Amino acid sequence: MAVDDAGNALRYSGGTWSAAKRIDKFAQTNAISCPTTSFCASVDFLGHALVYHDGSWTSPKLVATGDEMQSVSCASPTFCAAVGAKGKAVVWNGSAWSTPAVANPAGSLGSVSCPQNGYCVA
């Protein structure tokens, strides 16, 4: 799965890419992570997150007011973390996103990697 700066997702399967499908009506999508073929999480420029599960996308959910979400990483369908330009971070627990926490008071977090449930580096 890939996302573009127009709020679209594209899926790679069987050696070809699908046509772009609009998933985010609010903003450009900045990042995506797919730990399985049936689950992905994506974040956008205005602090929204979206989840892909079993063939469909959720509507964009505001998870970090006033923060441009830069990166998302999912270790599994029950654990993802996303970080933003103002140092905020949110965590997905399999059913909901956490309240944003300031992970870096000094400023921007540009990337996050979560190799296993409960552990990330940003």
Whether 81 and 111 have beta carbons less than 8 Å apart is answered as no
**Cα–chain center distance at 82:** 6
The band of 4, judged by pLDDT with boundaries at 50, 70 and 90, is: very high
Residue type, 69: M
Q: pLDDT tens digits for 18-69?
A: 999 999 998 899 999 999 999 999 999 999 999 999 999 999 999 998 889 9
Q: pLDDT tens digits for 64-104?
A: 988 899 999 999 999 999 999 999 999 999 999 999 999 99
| Strands 69-76 vs 56-57: parallel, antiparallel or unpaired | unpaired
Across the beta sheet with 21-22, the strand order is 2-3, 8-10, 21-22
Both structure tokens of 9: 């997702």
What does DSSP assign to residue 98?
A: P
pLDDT confidence of residue 66: 86
